[in-house]
Amino acid sequence: MAGNLTLTMIKPDAVKKNAIGGILKMMNDGGFKIVAMKYMHLSKTKAEAFYAVHKERPFYGELTEFMSSGPIVAAILEKDNAVEDFRKLIGATNPAEAEDGTIRKVYATSIGENAVHGSDSDENAQIEGDFFFSQQERF
Ligand code: CMP
Enclosing H/E stretch for 5: strand 5-10
- What is d(CA 121, CA 86) in angstroms, rounded to the nearest whole number? 11
Q: Is 9 exposed, middle or buried (0-12, 13-18, 19+ CB in 10 A)?
A: buried
- Residue 91 lies inside a defined structural domain of this protein: yes
| Ligand 1 site, residue 112, Cβ cutoff 6 A | yes
* Mean pLDDT, the chain cut into blocks of 10 residues (139 residues total): 94 98 98 98 98 97 98 98 98 96 97 97 98 98
- The CATH number covering residue 10 comes to 3.30.70.141
What pLDDT score was predicted for residue 1? Answer: 73
Burial class from Cβ neighbours inside 10 Å (0-12, 13-18, 19+) for residue 104 reads buried
Whether 126 maps to a domain, the answer reads no
| CB of residue 63 inside a 6 A radius of ligand 1 | yes
In a domain, 43, yes or no: yes
**131: in domain:** no
- Model pTM greater than 0.95? yes
128 lies in a domain?
A: no
Asked whether residue 121 is domain-assigned, the answer is: no
Bridge partner residues of 34 (DSSP):
77
Question: Which residues span the domain enclosing 41?
Answer: 5-115
Active site residue 117: yes
Q: How far apart are CA 119 and CA 124, in angstroms?
A: 6
Q: How do residues 15-45 score in pLDDT, each as one tens digit?
A: 999 999 999 999 999 999 999 999 999 999 9
Give residue 2's pLDDT.
85
Please state the domain count of the chain. 1
Tell the residue nearest (CA) to atom 21 of ligand 1.
Answer: 112
User: Cα–Cα distance between 120 and 109 in angstroms, integer?
Assistant: 21
Query: From the alpha carbon of 120, which atom of ligand 1 is closest?
Result: 2
Assess if residue 138 is contained within a domain.
no
